[in-house]
Amino acid sequence: MVNSRAKGARGEREWALWLKIWLGIKARRGQQFAGGPDSPDVIGLEGTHAEVKRVEKLNISKAMQQAVRDCGDNLPYVAHRKNGEAWMITIQAADIRAFVVLLIKHYAAARDEVNSD
């Protein structure tokens, strides 16, 4: 049986790597201490609060409630995947416009950084 804390940490590292590879965002695991806006699971997509779940059975409502509770002024989202499946993100529908704007901003900044080298 895999230790759930180790699996969670592995999932957070996987999500950070996904952000780096697919969006060019410099991401890393956050500080894991007490929850809240200063401790998202993954840091890198500025203006968002990531709750990362790497589980076979996910209560997405509960995970989103945790993200909302801990997000402060940031946009909450849940990045999640099961074994052998692709990463997915869940956001609140009311946040879609702001989330897309943040993604475009970060993607453009990463692209400009690569092109300036």
pLDDT value at residue 2: 59
Place of tokens 């952000």: 19
Higher pLDDT, 61 or 39: 61
User: How does pLDDT run across 57-115, given as a tens digit for each residue?
Assistant: 999 999 999 999 999 999 999 999 999 999 999 999 999 999 999 988 887 877 777 67
**Opening angle at CA 97, ends 74 and 25, nearest 5:** 60
Is the pLDDT higher at 91 or at 4? 91
Question: How open is the CA angle 13-53-84, to the nearest 5 degrees?
Answer: 80
pLDDT on residue 117: 64
Q: Give the domain range for residue 33.
A: 4-116
How would residue 16 be classed by pLDDT, with cut points 50, 70 and 90? Answer: very high
- pLDDT at position 30 is 82
Q: Any idea which residue has 């890393």 for tokens?
A: 28
- 95: domain CATH number is 3.40.1350
User: Structure pTM?
Assistant: 0.84
Query: Could you count the other beta carbons within 10 Å of the beta carbon of residue 5?
Result: 9
Q: For residue 114, what pLDDT is reported?
A: 67
Domain count, the chain: 1
Quick one: pLDDT at residue 38? Answer: 60
**Whole-number pLDDT of residue 41:** 87
Residue 87 is predicted with a pLDDT of 97
